[in-house]
Amino acid sequence: MTDPLPDHEPLRVAVLGAGTVGADVLRLIRLNGEELAHRIGAPLRVIGIAVQDVSKDRGEHVDHALLTTDASALVREADLVVEVMGGIEPARGLLLEAIENGASVVTANKALLAQDGVTLYEAADEHGVDLHFEAAVAGAIPLVRPIRESLAGDRIQRVLGIVNGTTNYILDAMARTGAAFEDALARAQELGFAEADPTADVEGHDAAAKASILASLAFHTRVGLQDVHCEGITSVTSADIAAAARMGRTIKLLAIVERIADAEGTERISARVYPAMIPSSHPLASVGEAYNAVFIEAEAAGSLMFYGQGAGGAPTASAILGDLVTVARQRVLGGVGPRESRYADLEIVGIGSLRNGFYLSLTVQDRPGVLAEVAGTLSAHGISISTIHQEPLPQAEGTEDRARIGIATYAAAESSVDSALDVLDSSGAVIAIDSVLRIEGE
């Protein structure tokens, strides 16, 4: 470095959490401190690291002398607070305390932002500080900043993609190597992708939290977790994955937020997360392991694709450091960055009013007339079949002949598919409705 270090007093940084992400944040601050000081115009000084257990070994980059269990005292001394502890409380209380004390904050906590981001945005506004959260959506991939800033002059129509690394890792392993769901999940946990409670990943709640953040930013409307239709991957079976492959499709957990205009031109929005079959030729189908990929479709920009590491310590720390440099620079120069924008206040529609293609897998009695009955029920609900596949199932002792029918449909109203499934469920010919998956991207 040829230039002398900036002659500015150090900015005091409190780091809340030193787990998978926090340890990498601390490593990057330590290794790149001098360069960061040049980019910011002031050095960063980590004044403390809040954890639960100060005796744990955290590797060479975490200064044990800075560890504390008194996070509240720590945030009161800081100019900048990085929250990577996760969970709702005490993270929310600590971030509010930091904001009320005039600190700018950076967080990776999508669960908190989706559940009660409003309180944090309003507090940051009131106290004139920055609240940045690039790492909360899709790890290392820049999405928040492109939507909030780069596309601020455009109109976003749709954001669609894979935003959860753990579930993508599981589905990819099940499809490629035939791994069992539980084994793939355990490996994702070992690799540091999964949430502290991996239910948040596999039940789709983590992706739904990200969808709520993306929808709020893209459509200038407050979209909470409760507004996102959410289905996870726990009911996806290896039979579904094999059926998808047979049809030239791949199953991915998708987050979709979109603007929908009716015949009168009234705009509403939809936000949803579910596992879906997509054509194996679709760019999202080849996104493997814990990678994430997201398409943003905007009126003037057209379609933009973002791809990269969506989880893991170092990738997530990269996004946090980007935010940290931004908020630190603002502090040196004065002023604050973009605020929450919710002027559009668009109505959010439920999933029942949408249309989708579906894949239905049914176990049925293997006797004449059953296929006709199933097809008749679908037809009576205005659902048109695009392909159908039937195979006999091994017969268990004392039971009737059974078969599995896999049906792909053309786009149909969600409410019609629900009604048709109710009828099929109570039909004597249908032994079980094994799977219901949406078909997207065709």
Positions that interact with ligand NDP (CB under 6 A): 17-22, 50-53, 56, 71, 84-86, 90, 108-110, 135, 139, 192-193, 195-196, 311-312, 316
Cα distance between residue 216 and residue 354, in whole Å: 20
User: Which residue number, 192 or 357, has a Cβ lying nearer to ligand NDP?
Assistant: 192
Angle, CA of 166, 171 and 161, to the nearest 5°: 70
Cα distance between residue 5 and residue 367, in whole Å: 82
Quickly list DSSP for 224-260: -GGGSEE--STT--HHHHHHHHHTTEEEEEEEEEEEE
Q: Which two tokens stand for residue 262?
A: 């009716």
| Smallest distance, ligand HSE to C-beta of residue 141, A | 10
By the rule CB under 6 A, 311 interacts with ligand HSE: yes
Which of the residues are catalytic?
A: 210
The mark string for 164-183 relative to ligand HSE (x by CB under 6 A, - otherwise) is xxx-----------------
Chain centroid offset of residue 55 CA: 33
User: Which residue number, 298 or 317, has a Cβ lying nearer to ligand HSE?
Assistant: 317
Contacts with 403 (C-beta within 8 Å, 6 or more apart), sequence order: 363, 364, 365, 366, 370, 390, 391, 392, 393
Query: CB under 5 to 8 A by kind: which of ligand NDP, ligand HSE, none does 164 bind?
Result: ligand HSE
User: Which residue number, 295 or 410, has a Cβ lying nearer to ligand HSE?
Assistant: 295
Q: Which two tokens stand for residue 92?
A: 């929310």
| Smallest distance, ligand HSE to C-beta of residue 316, A | 6
Cα distance between residue 171 and residue 241, in whole Å: 8
User: Which residue number, 117 or 406, has a Cβ lying nearer to ligand HSE?
Assistant: 117
| Smallest distance, ligand HSE to C-beta of residue 194, A | 5
By the rule CB under 6 A, 192 interacts with ligand HSE: no
Cα distance between residue 442 and residue 439, in whole Å: 8
Helix (H, G, I), strand (E, B) or coil at 68: strand
Residues 100-139 that bind ligand HSE (CB under 6 A): 139
By the rule CB under 6 A, 270 interacts with ligand HSE: no
Q: From the list 86, 146, 310, 357, which residue makes contact with ligand HSE (rule: CB under 6 A)?
A: 310
By the rule CB under 6 A, 291 interacts with ligand HSE: no
Binding site for ligand HSE (CB under 6 A): 139, 164-166, 193-195, 201, 206, 310-311
